[in-house]
Chain A
Amino acid sequence: MDEIKLYTIIIFTENKPGVLYRIADMFLKRKINIESLTVSEIESQEMSRFTIRVKGDHLAVEKITKQLYKIIEVVKVLEKTDEALVFKELALIKVATSNAEKMRGVEDIVRMAKAEIVAVGSTYLVIEKAGSEEDIDSLYALLKPFGIKEYVRSGRIAILK
């Protein structure tokens, strides 16, 4: 058994209804859990680009890559490890800031982490961070003690080097 790694699978498909369902079903059938998923239109309007992050050994990922081609609407499938990609994820984090001292603390962290404050409320700040999954995880860990009210991540987008 190969070592378990994170892989990014990029799938180009015809932009037709039901394709997401077919792709999700393929992962379900092989019991591979999807860590994150983004779908977007690409340059050509009739095509979609799926970026799917999965954990697995190389053989399992290679097998699903081949099986994804069985979906008629699938045109191209690429499976890559991080070294071959430029990638980013976007996160929005709403942090509780009940007093000025806490607010300053959050501001310091945001500056250090090269994140951005995108909304200010009387009791919270909304922070936006674009970066690797690890960057976002560590920012989240730093902000957690302040009290996180809401948190959302986009899933990875990636481009080939």
Chain B
Amino acid sequence: MKKMTGSQAVMESLLQEGVDTIFGYPGGAIMPVYNALYDYRDKIRHILVRHEQGAGHAAEGYARMTGKPGVALVTSGPGATNLVTAIADAMLDSVPMVCITGQVLASLLGSDAFQEADVVGITTPITKWNYQITKASEIPEVFAKAFHIAGTGRPGPVLLDITKNAQIEMMEFSYKKAPQIVGYQPNTAPNDRQIAIAAQLLNNAERPFMLIGHGVLIAKAEKAVKEIAEKAGIPVGSTLLGLSALPADHPLFVGMLGMHGNYGPNVLTNQADVILAVGMRFDDRVTGRLSDYAKQAKIIHIDIDPAELNKNVLSDVPIVADAKEALTALVAKIKKNAHKKWVEQFRAFDKEEFEKVIRHETHPEEGEITMAEAVAMLSKKTKGEAVVVSDVGQHQMIAARYYKPEKTDSYITSGGLGTMGFALPAAIGAKVAAPEREVIAIIGDGSFQMNIQELATLAQDDIAVKIIILNNNYLGMVRQWQQLFFDKRYSFVDLKNPDFVAVSRGFYVDAEKANKREQLSKALDRLLASTKPALLEIVVKKEGNIFPMVPTGASVEEVRLE
């Protein structure tokens, strides 16, 4: 066994877990680890962010692209509390992440020492697991446990809080990956009987409907989804986080579910006779009024987290399993079928949505540029092959609706927590993880100002993320709600924004602005042609609204087109 300091053991543990990149920010209580990192800087790439929240979201973006836990490294007290939003975000969106926080000396714990905060206490409700390491000798075992928990079962964030003495002490290093944990043995194999019942339901269904979520991407079950859909002729709708699991132009893909999803999949959820829900959790944004949600349908629900089954929607056939394993077992048991008439019903709704919403959103003949127009043009220019990372608000829904991904893992956003400020740092993480792919951050003017400092991170490491600001000088989603549900009382939603082009250039990131329709195409071409980080501000229609919309508390059938 090799003798080393706790901080060196942290580095060796990271290497054992195959970590090649971490996102972080140094400070007092984590300095010994940073000191060790200096010797490992050829093996572990460290991206220096400008705010710890940025490190958290960047680690999330990295994890979303690779499927491996993203790693964030920060100091105690404010360093750790700044990570909290990103941790909560990762918890709700099932993103594997290992956060390492420094902590004061074990001998000072509980004494209100400088930069001491009870980080384990603060993060208990928002982590899959957390632990405070107070002795160097614990490091290998606890790291192995942390990576195992973060990356398996339903993934999630894990936090390790390491007291400064544990970083300094000497210890003997030996590492054993994937340790046995008595209370943690996620089940991945489906129950054969449940699969048989599910297959029988699907084989007898006249109007089957498959709902896919983030779990499909996490389990890499895209191919299995496609096989089932094609074999049995089942139309497929996706949650916000399931987007890009099936190519947007697949003949059986019928669009997005939920509040700003497509017309057909919302209305027809309440006409399907069998619903096959895979790796999704019937979030309230998807279901609308629960008491009127899919009451007529038999529901087959596949999820790796047993606590999700029967949580919001009672299922007739609950299946606790990995999405890929369950679908692979299922595909063998289902019969060939085509539900042509049923699929046509979706297409009829599509036509209506196109006439009433999409046509004039994506091809306005006059007036200001619309968000949809810009995104649809981007989608065409990139052939749907870019990774779109969106922030939170109107532009997020527009990006989800009008960017048409052709490749898997191509739409990254903050779904469950709805964290403004997510996109820029998450795009940094995504680009670092997949440098060969075009990564485009689509961000609203409000969201951009929540983590705008990360422009400096882009510039410092020359990370070629392309940023599109869709600027309507409003907190647009809140304004839309105020217009529709609060008598147009626009309470604190108009923004006097900085000159984004000047700000960006000030950070040494190339930038330009388009505010006229005739500028748009060329400006997008220049943005996409750049090999460096670059920003394009597009000034869009000030009071644009997103439709369709299922208002809060309404049933999915009551989806409005205007």
Contacts and interface: CB of A to CB of B under 8 A. Distances in A.
Chains A and B form a bound pair? yes
A71 B182 CA distance: 12
A14 B307 contact: no
A74 interface: yes
Given A63-B307, A67-B307, A72-B129, A21 B183 contact: no
B449 to A, nearest CB: 32
A99 B472 CA distance: 84
Contacts of B128: 70, 72
Contact of A66 (B121, B129, B184, B306): B306
Contacts of A22: 124
B506 interface: no
A76 to B, nearest CB: 8
Interface string A58-76: 0000110011011111110
B142 to A, nearest CB: 12
B135 to A, nearest CB: 13
Size band of the interface chain B makes with A: 10 to 19
Given A14-B183, A72-B149, A66 B307 contact: yes
Contacts of A13: 183
A31 interface: no
Interface string A70-89: 11111100000000000000
Contacts of B41: none
A29 interface: yes
B181 interface: yes
A71 B156 CA distance: 12
Interface string B158-184: 000000000000000000000001111
A18 interface: yes
Contacts of A70: 128, 305, 307
Contact of B183 (A62, A63, A75): A75
A21 B121 contact: yes
B126 to A, nearest CB: 10
A57 interface: no
Interface in A94-122: none
A41 interface: no
Interface residues of A, number: 18
Nearest to A21: B124
A35 interface: no
B120 interface: yes
A137 interface: no
A18 B183 contact: no
B505 interface: no
Contacts of B305: 70
Nearest to A24: B124
A117 to B, nearest CB: 42
B311 interface: yes
Contacts of B309: 66
A14 B120 contact: no
B441 to A, nearest CB: 32
Interface string B284-310: 000000000000000000000111011
B183 A73 contact: yes
B125 interface: yes
Nearest to B158: A72
B184 to A, nearest CB: 5
Interface in A1-34: 13-14, 18, 21-22, 25, 29
Nearest to B184: A72
A72 B120 contact: no
Contacts of B184: 72
Nearest to A16: B131
Contact of B124 (A25, A62, A63, A74): A25
Contacts of B183: 13-14, 69, 71-75
B370 to A, nearest CB: 41
The winner among A18, A63, A70, A71 for most chain B CB atoms within 10 A is: A70
Contacts of B149: 72
Interface string B56-80: 0000000000000000000000000
A25 B184 CA distance: 19
Contacts of B124: 18, 21-22, 25
A75 B125 CA distance: 19
A25 B127 CA distance: 12
B307 A69 contact: yes
A70 B304 CA distance: 12
Nearest to A66: B307
B122 to A, nearest CB: 11
A74 B307 CA distance: 14
B306 A69 contact: yes
B448 to A, nearest CB: 32
B93 to A, nearest CB: 16
Contacts of B121: 21
Nearest to B307: A66
A72 B159 CA distance: 13
Nearest to A65: B307
A72 B307 contact: no
A71 B311 CA distance: 17
B125 A25 contact: yes
A63 B306 contact: no
A92 B129 CA distance: 39
Contacts of A18: 120, 124
6 contacts: A14-B182, A25-B124, A66-B307, A69-B307, A72-B181, A72-B184
Given A21-B124, A66-B306, A69-B183, 6 more contacts: A21-B121, A29-B125, A66-B307, A70-B305, A72-B129, A75-B182
Interface of B: 120-121, 124-125, 128-129, 149, 181-184, 305-307, 309-311
Interface of A: 13-14, 18, 21-22, 25, 29, 62-63, 66-67, 69-75
**Shortest Cβ-Cβ A-B pairs, 8 listed:** A66-B307, A75-B183, A72-B129, A67-B307, A72-B184, A74-B183, A25-B125, A66-B306
